[in-house]
Each structure stands twice: as structure tokens, then as C-alpha cells.
Chains A and B, each alone.
Chain A
Amino acid sequence: MPDKSPRLAVSRRKFLGTVAVAGAASAVGDLDNKALAAAPAKAEPAKPSALPPSAKVAAAETSAPDAQAPVMGTPNSDFMVDVIKTLDIDYVAANPANSFRGLHESLLTHGGNKKPEFLTCMHEESSVAMAHGYFKVAGKPMLVLCHGTVGLQHASMAVYNAWCDQVPIVIIGGNDLDASKRPPFVPTYHSAQDIGALLRDFVKWDDMPVSAQHFAESFVRAYKLSMTPPYEPVLLSLDSDLQEEPIENRDKLTIPRYVPTSPPQGDSNAVREAARLLVQAENPVIVADRLARTPAGMGLLVELAELLNAPVVDRRSRLNMPTTHYLHQTGRGKVLVHNADVILGLELSDFYGTVNTYIDNGENTRHPKTKPGVKLISISSRDYYLKSNYQDFQRFQSVDVSIAGDAEATMPALIEAVKKALPADRKAALEKRGEAMRKAWSATRARTLQAATYAWDASPVSTARLASEVWAQIKDEDWSLVSSDRMISSWASRLWPMEKHYQFIGGPGGFGIGYGSPAAVGAALANRPHGRFSVNIQTDGDMMYAPGVLWTAAHHRIPLLNVMHNNHGYHQEVMHVQRMADRRNRPLPDGPIGTQINGPNIDYAKLAQSMGWWASGPITDPKDLAPTLKRAVEVVKTGEPALVDVYTQPR
């Protein structure tokens, strides 16, 4: 039952505010008396509209009074910390703000700044994106505190990325609800009736608790919903008065026990039908996107693929399939999909785009990539959970077997169904298919290596050379690539042997720029206790959205190697503007204005150095890469972040 008893008439915040004003008034009064004494007796001193600046005035305006009355009771925010501590949350990321100052203080004092430990962030987009990257390595959510209005607006893009990428984050937005109590001007600008409205389209659940007990229940519910597949961010709006008021009835408050929700498994009959189709197929293909939501997912996919000797195309929102496995056939995705008679999509975010071609040629040409009669099977949580406004659910694709369920949770049942459906006389055919896949893997590898040789010695440095040089320096470490490699033509995942879930963590989800740098810091933080070596291929445009995260990494001693993929532009847009000009048959008189990042070139090494990083560059000659990267790796192994700026080819 929520506590409906009236709040105490004197809140802690109001009480402290009164003391502060009284202190300031006392100091000002002292000054006024002296000024009056020094003034000529006849003249009535003009009353200043503002006091002249002095150290005393400044102290009166900004300092706490010397003698503060003891706090009246235990604040609700201490209890809130007790609630948070039941959920094994390691970190809380925040840019500080008065709307959650009560909780902030309790986290440091009552909570001892441990589990969660405070991470000082310089932008709320960084806070959320750090939590995003952290989850994909740690497998558990981070808590993020945001100032109710301005903070959540800063955070919103990163929250949308997390939503699209199905990543759980527990966000608390501080708010000053009571108009009769909140301070005027700035705090009132920063208050709103319903801060949840900002994010409601792309969080799974939000609430505005109005009592301590309500907070306890809503926080545990929020965490539970966030961690139920499909994982998603959640939001609590937390009134600042509620944080700061004393607890009235601690003995009556309870903290609900968190029990994880078992994720939904697909319907048994549908799973059997899927198995039947897969077993009978001559050219089955498995396309996995966000299947491996836990480290166990990869093992399950390997087991299913090996049973069928079916090739796997990894869409790489997670590392679903080891790149060294003979059935990892991502490089042949186009031809495999074209030749397939059965395609199994596992948490496939864009099934339509997987089986249809779209050409950006002014006519929006579309046609199927597949052969007529192909059977499509989907196992996806998106069939039972989505929202309306934002279009992250992609274009509608009809499939032949549509299984609403969590794909990873459904895999054991599918594997068993395939085992039962597999006739003994298929063994030879499956072995033959497996042998063909081994040969195809080797042929793809040979073509990939050949492709890497082109522009090998070029300046700007080729992206294949960049990936090769980085690999040479980290290969003996327990490494973790904490960035997507989409912007470097996927060279890392085409070349590096990726076999563990933390060796590749996918991209932003919603493709909102500004994810890369903070997500890498968050993922590196998750890698730190395991002694893993974190490396981030960092694009230049993304870096400049909120570069203050570099300071956060240095401040919290998060070891991370940032290798700048500095192609001096928002390259996707460089190409788009050129495409428009060509389509309209008129030249761009002065090149791609508005899409390039040069004149002046940004010195990323100096930027990083200014925030406490070891940094070097820019490197233009590929021959200089090895010694510089080697030195940077040594720095990172001491526990510090390091950055190497490299002028690179566009992609």
C-alpha cells in the first residue's frame, strides 16, 4: 500500500534553504552597518541596487553557513539507496543536477559511493551511451541520473539508440514538482509536469513514484521490466522534495525482492514446423542479428548451425557466430540469401531489408533478393513488443512461420526439434554441405586478404591496413573491440578471430551519431575488472558530439585504446550530397561543403591530452602506425586511456 500520510510541514530542503538565506542576510547586514558608519552624517546614503563585490559578499552568497542544524531525520533518499543496492548495480552515471541532489548525496554518504559508484559525466548523452556500451559487455544495467528536463533532452538520442539496440538502462530523472515549494527561475525552468513524456515513445516503462514505498516498488518493477527480453531502457521521474523529505515510517517500508522474469519461448508447434522446414531445405540460411543477448546465445547458434551444416550470416548487432567457424559465412550473405530455399531470421531487426533490395537511385528501386518460393521463418521478440511512433520496427515483411518469442530462449527447443526431425538419410548430404562451407570460408578469407592489399601503403591510411596494424599490437591480449567496425568496411570482423561475446559488441542500434565514444568508455569500464584490453576504432564526427567523455575516462582511470578513424568528414553525408548533385546533373562548385571536418583540422591528440590522456598523432604514413600503437598499448596496460589519431581513407 502506498503511504498516503501527509508529508512533514518542514522539508529538509526548505529548512536548509532558510538557514542559508539567514546566513547570507546576516553577513550582508554586517557590511551595511560598517558602510553606514563610514558615511557622512548628513547625507542619506543611496541604496545600492546590488552590493559591491567583495570576498565577504561572495562567501555569503555561495558558502554554507558555519553552523548547520542537524538533519531532521533520515531522508527518503537514503531508503532509495537501500532499494538501489538490492539490485547489484555497479555504477551510476550522471552529470550533476539539483533535481537529484538528495539522491546524489545519499549515494555518496549513506551508500558509501559503492555499488553503485558515481561516474562523473559531462553530458547526459554520454551517461546513457556509457551505460549502453557497459551493458553489452557486463550483461547488467547501469543506473543513470538525469536532470529532469534539460538532462533528459540531452539524453534522449542516446536513449533512443539503447531502445533500438534493445539494451536495458535504468534512468532516474529528477524533477521539482511542487510549484509552491520549488525555487523560482532556473529550477522552475527545469521542471515539468511530466518529464516522462520526453522519452515515453522509446522507453519500455516509466513511472512517477509519490512515496518512498512507491519508489521501492517502481524501481524494482522498472529494473525487472528492463531486464525482461526484449531488454529496453526504463525511466522513473523522481520528485526532489520526495528525495529530501525525512522518512516517516522506515519500519513499515519494504523492498520487493527482484526475481528475473523467464523470457518467453516460441510456441512448440511453430518451432516444430520451423525445424521441419530447416531439415528439409537444400539451401538453408540462418541470419542472426540480436540473437545472442547473453554469452550463451553464441553457443546455441553454433549448435543449431552445426546440426544442419547451415551457413550463418551475422548482422552483427551482437557477436552471434564466431568469425573463425566454418559456418560463419557473413561475407557471402548476398549470394546465400539469393540461393536460399529457407531463411531463418533470429531477432532480425530488418527482415524486409534482408530479403529485398533497395537502390537509392531516385526511383527507389525495390525487388526481392530471394528466389520465388523461399520459405521465411522469424523468431523475434518484436512480434510481441513494439511501439507506434518511431519506426525502428522497420518495413513489414510477411513470413511463412512467424514465432513470437525470445530467440535465444527458443533455441534449445528448436535444436531439440531439429534433432528429432532430422532423418538418418540426410547425414551424407549435410556432411557434403559442411565440406562446401569449409571451402567457401577459406575462399572468402583468401579474397578478403587480397582485397586488403589494395592501397596497402596509401596515405591517408587504408582501413584494412589500420585494422591489421591494430590487430598486430593487441593479438596477445585478452582483447575486446568496443566499437562497431561498420565505418571501416567491417575490416576488423572480416579479419580478426572473434570468438567471445565481448570481442564484438555491435553498434548504436538507432544509428544516432555520438554513441561510439561514450559507449566505448562504458564497455571498457565493464572490461576493466576482467583485465581485458579494450580497443575502440573511433570515428571523428562521432567523437565531437560530446568529447567530454574523454575526461570521464581519464578521471575514472578506465583503460581504453582509442584509434581515430579520422577521415575528416561526415562521410555518409559527403556521399549523399554528391549523389544529389549527380542526380540533378549539376556540379558541386566547391566540393562537398557542409559535410567535411577540416579547415582547421581537429587535433584529436591534443584534445585527448587536454583531458588527461596519453595521445599521439596525427599519423599519415602507415609505416608510423606500428611503433605508435605499440607505445599506446603499453600505456593502456598500465591502466590509463590512450589515443592515436590516424588520417584514414573514407571507408
Chain B
Amino acid sequence: MQSIKLASVLAAAALVAALTSTTASAASAEHGKAVFIQKGCWQCHGTQGQGAVTGPRLAPDPIPLEAIANFIRNSTGPMPPYRKAILSDADLADIYAYLQSVPKPPAVKDVPLLNQWASQPK
């Protein structure tokens, strides 16, 4: 078990190194948005990574690249792992760039439609 965990950690470290290199060179939010759609990420997370009952929110303010990359490559949960054959390191970095580019939402208080309900229970 220990050796498996160690292997996972090493693999994740190598992945992050590769991704960081890619990110630094040419990460493209625009291309990342296209890949986000093409690879099916939007299906569970929404086109802006806003989240739904089918998958958690990813953006804005995505979790650190290392964490999200590790999860994408090694998920054992309901979301299947996206390995390199399906999602290259470059594309993953572009997706991350897209998630980083998603603008912050308006504050609740600034959205009249979200102020039409009571904040306290009966």
C-alpha cells in the first residue's frame, strides 16, 4: 500500500512539473474553454465551471493547479480519471487557464432576483 501511495505522489509531482512548465509557456484560456466543452467537463460542472448537483463548482478561483491536476488524473470517485490518452498535459493546463479566467460572480446583495426570498426560516 505504501509503495502505491509513494508511486502516486511521485506521479503527481511529475505531472505538476510538466503542467507548470506548460502553463508557464503557453496556457490558453480560449483553447481551454474549447477543450472544457470538447472533453465533457461542462457536462457535470456547467459551461463556466459553476457546478451543479452533478459536479462541484470549479470556477472562479479554482483550487491550486497541483490539486486539480492530481484529482483529474487519479480520481477514484464518481468522476472518472482523465488520463493523458484523453486529456493531454497541455490541454489540462489550458483548461486551468480557462477556469482562472472565469470572472467573479456578482454579490448576492447586488442581484435583486436573489433578494426576493427570506433569509430566516419560519
List residues of chain A with CB under 8 Å of any chain B CB: 322, 324-326, 328, 359-363, 365, 438, 441-442, 445-446, 449-456, 458, 460, 462-463, 465, 468-469, 471-472, 475, 489-490, 495-497, 571, 574-575, 578-579, 581-583, 585-588, 591-592, 649-651
Contact = CB atoms under 8 A, between A and B. Distances in A.
Contact of A489 (B53, B59, B119): B53
Contact of A361 (B44, B76, B118): B76
Given A326-B121, A360-B78, A445-B121, 18 more contacts: A324-B118, A325-B121, A449-B114, A452-B108, A454-B48, A455-B46, A455-B48, A455-B105, A465-B113, A469-B113, A471-B116, A574-B40, A575-B44, A578-B80, A581-B86, A582-B83, A592-B40, A649-B50
A457 to B, nearest CB: 8
Given A450-B108, A458-B50, A649-B52, A445 B40 contact: no
Interface of B: 38-40, 42-44, 46-48, 50-54, 57, 59-60, 76-78, 80-83, 85-86, 105-108, 111, 113-114, 116-122
B51 A451 contact: yes
Contacts of A363: 76
Given A497-B117, A585-B85, A586-B85, A650 B80 contact: no
A490 B47 contact: no
9 tightest A-B contacts by CB? Answer: A582-B80, A454-B50, A455-B50, A326-B121, A453-B105, A651-B52, A578-B40, A441-B121, A468-B113
Given A453-B106, A591-B38, A651 B46 contact: yes
A469 B39 CA distance: 31
A92 to B, nearest CB: 38
Nearest to B38: A591
B43 A463 contact: no
A451 B111 CA distance: 13
Given A453-B105, A453-B108, A587-B86, A472 B43 contact: no
Given A360-B78, A361-B76, A445 B57 contact: no
A359, A361, A582, A587: residue with the most chain B Cβ atoms closer than 10 Å? A582
Given A442-B120, A455-B105, A583 B80 contact: yes
Nearest to B52: A651
Given A469-B113, A472-B113, A650-B43, A359 B86 contact: no
B80 A579 contact: yes
B111 A456 contact: yes
Contacts of B39: 587
B78 A359 contact: yes
Contacts of A585: 83, 85-86
A322 B122 contact: yes
A451 B57 contact: yes
A330 to B, nearest CB: 12
Contacts of A322: 122
Given A458-B48, A490-B53, A497 B118 contact: yes
Contacts of A471: 113, 116
A190 B53 CA distance: 45
B48, B51, B57, B122: residue with the most chain A Cβ atoms closer than 10 Å? B122
A451 B58 CA distance: 12
A359 B108 contact: no
18 contacts: A359-B76, A359-B78, A445-B117, A445-B118, A449-B114, A452-B114, A453-B106, A455-B48, A455-B105, A456-B106, A471-B116, A575-B44, A578-B40, A579-B80, A586-B86, A587-B85, A651-B44, A651-B53
B121 A442 contact: yes
B47 A455 contact: yes
Contacts of B105: 453-456
Contacts of A458: 46-48, 50
Contacts of A579: 80
A581 B87 CA distance: 12
Contacts of B80: 361-362, 578-579, 582-583
A477 to B, nearest CB: 14
A102 B100 CA distance: 69
A650 B48 contact: no
B83 to A, nearest CB: 5
Contacts of B53: 489-490, 651
Given A454-B51, A455-B47, A455-B105, A446 B78 contact: no
